[in-house]
Amino acid sequence: MRLKATPDDFQVHEATDLRIRQRPGPYRVYLLEKVGWNTVDALGRIARARGVPLARFAYGGKKDRHARTSQYVTVADPRDLSLAAPGYTFRFLGYSDEPMGPDRILYNRFTLTIRELTPGEAERLQAGLRRVQEQGFINYFDDQRFGSLDRERGFIAERLLQGRWEEALAIALTAVHPEESREAKARKRALRERWGQWAECLALSRTRFEREAFGMLAGTAEGAAPKRPEVPPQVRERAAGRPAAGPGAAALASRRCGPFQAALARAPAEDRAMWAAAYQAFLWNQWVARLLRSRGWVAAWAPGRAGPYLFPGDLPP
């Protein structure tokens, strides 16, 4: 059996509930269609080609490089930025009153091509499909959702909800992920080794978030007053809402912000949204696993980045 032998073997098309109209509004809406590009690199290239800051672009999530994908993007700029280039197109669709974000994704539609199936594999696949038709399938969030997870230190959003600001910032700025470039991995390891030496960290910084965060911490160390940041809306809702997410959650909305909180607010809005989405997805997966164990329904499992995925056998009627 072979999966993803070519980009067309794995197709992902996003559906959104974003209201798109033809009457001009504050955000232009585009459809980004791409193959062989990840979302950030493609939008970065478009931003540079059109002379628009990347910070004005908003989208729901990062789509796979090794796939044919389509997704919605909003841009806070009145000009038509439509563009076609090798590997991607950026096509204007209309206008919206709000930016695109993870909360505007209804679902992703996947089309998979499986090659070189053996007769035995094909038989098991057909049996599995019949079982799914009869009993459904557990809608786990898979490993792609947990890109911000640090296996040693955990989830950034969990630390935020516990009021452990410095730990959250340290994970955000120094966690090393497999898909990153060799240079980025080396830089993050160096930042972690020098954590607390803010001037040295600032000298190593390359991204805007790194420069602003370490610049703020270096200034605070010299006596500058930190700026009160905007609390990420996903976290603010949990802090004010009913399902408490851990000690210190309410403090996010009310406590006077210190330097680590202020530095965290310098993270791109999309990153902050993904931190919250990753932890939310983890809690859902854990709830499903606990339900399966409590009913004695676990028949198989598969390893995962944030813990095993458990699957039932034939369920009782």
Can you tell me the mean pLDDT for 202-212?
95
Instruction: Kindly tell me if the per-residue pLDDT of 29 is higher than 90.
Output: yes
User: Using CB atoms within 10 A of its CB, is residue 260 exposed (0-12), middle (13-18) or buried (19+)?
Assistant: buried
Nearest to 169 by CA among 196, 151, 203, 142: 196
Q: What is the pLDDT of residues 4-23, one digit of tens each?
A: 899 999 999 999 999 999 99
**Based on the domain organization, do 208 and 270 belong to the same domain?**
yes
Domain that holds residue 241: 148-277
Token pair recorded at residue 175: 């966690």
**Based on the domain organization, do 169 and 95 belong to the same domain?**
no
Q: What is the pLDDT of residues 89-141, one digit of tens each?
A: 999 999 999 999 888 999 999 999 999 999 999 999 898 888 888 888 888 99
Domain contains 18: yes
Q: Are 73 and 90 in contact (CB under 8 A)?
A: yes
Domain contains 138: no
Q: Are 107 and 72 in contact (CB under 8 A)?
A: no
Can you tell me the mean pLDDT for 27-37?
97
Which residue is catalytic, options 17, 41, 64, 150?
Answer: 64
Give the number of domains in the chain: 2
The residues, ordered by sequence, that sit 6+ positions from 313 with a Cβ below 8 Å of its Cβ are 297, 299, 300
pTM exceeding the 0.85 threshold for the entire prediction: no
Can you tell me the mean pLDDT for 198-211?
95
Token pair recorded at residue 220: 């605070």
Q: What is the pLDDT of residues 226-254, one digit of tens each?
A: 444 444 454 444 434 333 333 333 444 34
- State the helix-helix crossing angle for 165-174 and 182-193, rounded to 10 degrees: 150
The string over 46-67, giving b where at least 16 C-beta atoms fall within 10 Å of a residue's C-beta and e elsewhere, is bbeeeebeeeebbbbbbbbbeb
SS3 content of the chain, % helix, strand, coil (to 5): 45, 20, 35
What is the rounded distance in angstroms from the CA atom of residue 131 to the CA atom of residue 135?
A: 6
What is the rounded distance in angstroms from the CA atom of residue 72 to the CA atom of residue 18?
A: 9
User: Using CB atoms within 10 A of its CB, is residue 176 exposed (0-12), middle (13-18) or buried (19+)?
Assistant: middle
Q: What is the pLDDT of residue 226?
A: 42
Domain contains 99: yes
**Based on the domain organization, do 155 and 73 belong to the same domain?**
no
CA distances from 106 to 101, 269, 306 (A): 11, 20, 23
Tell me what percent of the residues of the chain surpass a pLDDT of 90: 67
Nearest to 272 by CA among 188, 178, 160, 175: 160
Q: What is the pLDDT of residue 221?
A: 55
Which CATH number covers residue 41?
Answer: 3.30.2350.20
Q: How confident is the model at residue 220 (pLDDT cuts 50, 70, 90)?
A: low
More confident residue, 37 or 252: 37
Q: Let me know if 8 is a catalytic residue.
A: no
Domain contains 306: no
Q: What is the pLDDT of residue 65?
A: 86
Q: What is the pLDDT of residues 138-168, one digit of tens each?
A: 889 999 889 899 999 999 999 999 999 999 9
**Based on the domain organization, do 44 and 94 belong to the same domain?**
yes
Q: What is the pLDDT of residue 315?
A: 63
Token pair recorded at residue 312: 């039932």
Lookup result for tokens 């939310």: 280
Instruction: Kindly tell me if the per-residue pLDDT of 2 is higher than 70.
Output: yes
Q: What is the pLDDT of residue 144?
A: 83
Q: What is the pLDDT of residues 48-85, one digit of tens each?
A: 999 999 989 999 988 988 899 999 999 999 999 999 99
